Structures are given as C-alpha cells and as structure tokens.
Amino acid sequence: MTRILQNDSHGRFASLRVAVTGGTSGLGLALVRESLARGARVAFVARNREGVERVAREHGRAHGIVGDVSKKEDIHPIAMQIVGGLGGLDVLVNNASALGPTPLALLGDTDCEDFERALATNVLGPFRLTKALLGALAASARCGRGAVVLNVSSDAAIHAYPRWGAYGASKAALRHLSHVWNEELLAEGVSFLSLDPGDMDTPLHALAVPDSDPATLKRPEAAARELAEAIAAALPARSPGKAPRGAAAVEVDAS
C-alpha cells in the first residue's frame, strides 16, 4: 500500500470545519464520511438520538448533534453546538429534507400541515440555521479559510412534477434564497451553492417512489464526492501542499 499526499480538492478539505444536517442516512451520511475521508472536522445534525449516537460511534472523529432544523427553538442550540464542537465553521451543508405528504399527493389533496412541514424543514430550517451561523462563516472568510454554504436542491425546484408540489415549491424557494444570499454575501467571502445531486438510492427517495429500482439510481457516495468537489472549487485556492492556517497536510491511503 502506497502513501500519497492528496492535493487540490482533497487538500482544500484538510482541517476544514464542516457541518451537515440530516447526517445519519442517505446523502447526509455519505457527506459526513466523504468529508472525514478528506481530512475535515465534521459535525452532523439529525433528529433521532439513536441514529446520531450510532453514527458518532462508527465515526469517532465526527461530532453528533441531536436537533430538528424544522423547529425554531432547536436552531440556536444546534448552532452553538456546531461552533463549540468545531471551534468555528467553514462549510455548512443544509441537507435535511422533508417530502411533505407521504405518499405524495396532488396539491389540492395536500394537507396544510404537510405543506407547512416541507416549508419548515426545507426553507425555514436552512434559513434560520444559516442566519445563526453567518457570524462564524464570515469570521472564517476573513481569516482566509473560505466559507461555503451548500443548500442541497432538486430538479423538482425547477420542473413542475405532479404530486411533488410541496417538496418542489419548498426546494424552489430554497434555490432562490441561495442565489439571493450569494449575491448579498459574496463580497464578504461567503459563497452559496444550490446543487441538485440527482436521483439517489436513499431512504427519502424510497419513501417518495417505493417501486423504484435502486439499481437505476445514483449511489449517495458518488453524489457526495461530486458535491465535495463543488465545495472545494468554491474555496479559496491554496499554494500546493499548503494547508489552512494551523493545519497540517493530510495523507491518505491509496491501494
């Protein structure tokens, strides 16, 4: 087995402080693992305590936080634990999502409560958490480490799919929110990305389309690699072999 020094996108992740919501399954868990593999320090958030404790045990370097981003009262405790656990924040991934009604329903048959849940999780949650963490992100940008917020989107944010109304409307709002925030904060060094990872073999997709063939869907691990590359591309360039201030270059195994 050969030891090689990773540079470029992997090198840019060395000692980054990354927070991921919805981090115990699907794409969120894949992003936690991908970020750790690239040398980042990671905090992840999820509602289920057992799931958080399980992932924390499996990945001892990850800091697990129990919280529900759809609940206003949970936001500041989550934000405080992220910043306290990581000592700051460089990258926030708003990944936690809710479909709305399950099974999926026509808009005219969608209960208001289901629509509200999609908006609370997919729009208000990311808005509130990002707002609570803007100070930490701006501080990271001022120090030259860079700051990136990735809001996980969907093609349902652009295309009007029947029965996906609650989810699509909420993701469309999040997509536009991302663009506005990027225009407002890019000069401060905080970049916002709104990216669609594609149809993946995840519990959320299985809940939405229970008869889908997993073999035809993208693996979450592949999507996580693609999103990590996009995050790395949005970070400030570094000199070859140079890690962020106070960090060491990371070596990984290559077989």
- The catalytic residue positions are 167
Counting beta carbons within 10 angstroms of the beta carbon of residue 40, is it exposed (0 to 12), middle (13 to 18) or buried (19 or more)? buried
What 3-state class would DSSP assign to 227? helix
Tally of residues, the chain: 255
> Contact at 8 Å (CB) between 62 and 89?
no
40 DSSP assignment: -
- Residues sharing a CB contact under 8 Å with residue 225, sequence separation 6 or more, in sequence order: 34
Q: Coil, helix or strand for 218?
A: strand
Strands 17-21 and 41-46: parallel
**Which residue spans within the chain are E strands per DSSP?**
2-5, 17-21, 41-46, 62-66, 91-94, 147-152, 190-195, 251-254
- DSSP letter assigned to residue 200: B
- Token pair 């699907």: residue: 26
